Amino acid sequence: MAGKLNGKVALITGASAGIGEACARALAAEGANLVLTARRDERLEALAAELRQLGVEVAFVAGDARDEETARRTVQAATDSFGRLDILINNAGAGNYKNLVDTSADEYDELMDTNMRTTFLFTRHAVPVMQSQKSGTILMLSSMAGVYGFAGEAVYCATKFAQVGFAQALDKELRPDGIKVGAICPGGVKTEFALGKGRTEDKVAQSGMLEPEDVAGAVLLACTQSANSRIIEIQMRTMDEALT
Ligand code: NAP
């Protein structure tokens, strides 16, 4: 199979559902070998079996992305299985839409840890591998909530703005090493995200939100730039939605 990512190795966090799963399919379709991670290992196993049918190699590591050991083991799986790591998609994340006065400190910690600490940990362990290769692409799956503030989403917005700031700073820090860092910022996407925490299955199904495959297309675009070009940020909305 001749694909745009033949010979490349991509690590995707939160690959058991939604956008991460769609990214895995999109990158595998272009020939990338994959390392997948999330907590639900039966889903990772099923996805890995499906993607191997495309002729790519797939490793997976089940674990909580908030634990540093999961990040360490998953990056190690890339180097052990494939001897390199070309692409990191920091996608694992969660939402919990609440007004500030209804939000507990524990809920703040859970969102910040799931969205930002995981991003830090996986990037922290992936970057030395990419620095030694003098190449790599790192993408943060942020959100339009990482670009604009929205009522009822203050803590979620804070976690997503944090990812954008992290990406902008690392772009400056890592570009001299040949590493491209960018943020993908979609509006609402039809996934399991925030179900029971501000979203319901019915409302998501009836909404005109983006499909996970739309976002995977943007991720693929950012992963397939020419050697001289890097995508710093992509903002996405459906044609039905105003910008904010
Ligand atoms: P999703 O369908 O709920 O999937 C979330 C993924 O993250 C799952 O694979 C889940 O796997 C993983 N995950 C969550 N907590 C984890 C943890 N502690 N350890 C390991 N894995 C964890 O959500 P999605 O819509 O695809 O969201 C993916 C990313 O896109 C998130 O960062 C989200 O903020 C962002 N985003 C979503 C939307 C939207 O409207 N859906 C819009 C813009 C941006 P396990 O449960 O198996 O661990």
Which residue has 């969205």 as its token pair?
A: 115
- pTM metric for this prediction: 0.98
Please report, for the domain that includes residue 192, its CATH number: 3.40.50.720
Domain enclosing residue 194, as ranges: 9-234
Distance 92 CA to ligand 1 centre (A): 4
**58 domain residue, yes or no:** yes
Order the strands of the 58-62 sheet from edge to edge: 58-62, 33-38, 9-13, 87-90, 136-141, 179-186, 233-236
Distance 228 CA to ligand 1 centre (A): 31
Q: What DSSP element (H or E) covers 158?
A: helix 154-174
Tell me how many domains the chain contains. 1
3-state percent helix, strand, coil for the chain, nearest multiple of 5: 50, 15, 35
Distance 93 CA to ligand 1 centre (A): 4
Distance 216 CA to ligand 1 centre (A): 13
**239 domain residue, yes or no:** no
Give the C-alpha separation, 63 to 13, whole Å: 10
Best mutation site among 34, 67, 70, 91 for ligand 1, i.e. most ligand atoms within 8 A of its Cβ?
91
Predicted pLDDT at 1? 66
Residue 148 is among the residues annotated as catalytic for this protein:
no
Which residue has 């570009």 as its token pair?
A: 175
For the CA of 66, the closest atom of ligand 1 is 18
Q: With both helix axes pointing from N to C terminus, report the angle between 18-29 and 212-223 in degrees, rounded to the nearest 10.
A: 50
DSSP 8-state symbol, 233? E
pLDDT tens, position by position, for the chain (244 residues)? 689 999 999 999 999 999 999 999 999 999 999 999 999 999 999 999 999 999 999 999 999 999 999 999 999 999 999 999 999 999 999 999 999 999 999 999 999 999 999 999 999 999 999 999 999 999 999 999 999 999 999 999 999 999 999 999 999 999 999 999 999 999 999 999 999 999 999 999 999 999 999 999 999 999 999 999 999 999 999 999 999 8
**184 domain residue, yes or no:** yes
**4 domain residue, yes or no:** no
Q: What is the number of other CB atoms lying within 10 angstroms of the CB of residue 226? A: 6
Q: Is residue 146 lining ligand 1, measured as CB closer than 6 Å?
A: no
DSSP 8-state symbol, 82? H
Pair 92, 121: CB distance under 8 Å: no
Q: Is residue 185 lining ligand 1, measured as CB closer than 6 Å?
A: no
**215 domain residue, yes or no:** yes
**149 domain residue, yes or no:** yes
Predicted pLDDT at 228? 97
**26 domain residue, yes or no:** yes
**187 domain residue, yes or no:** yes
Minimum CA distance residue for ligand 1 atom 33:
93
Pair 239, 188: CB distance under 8 Å: no
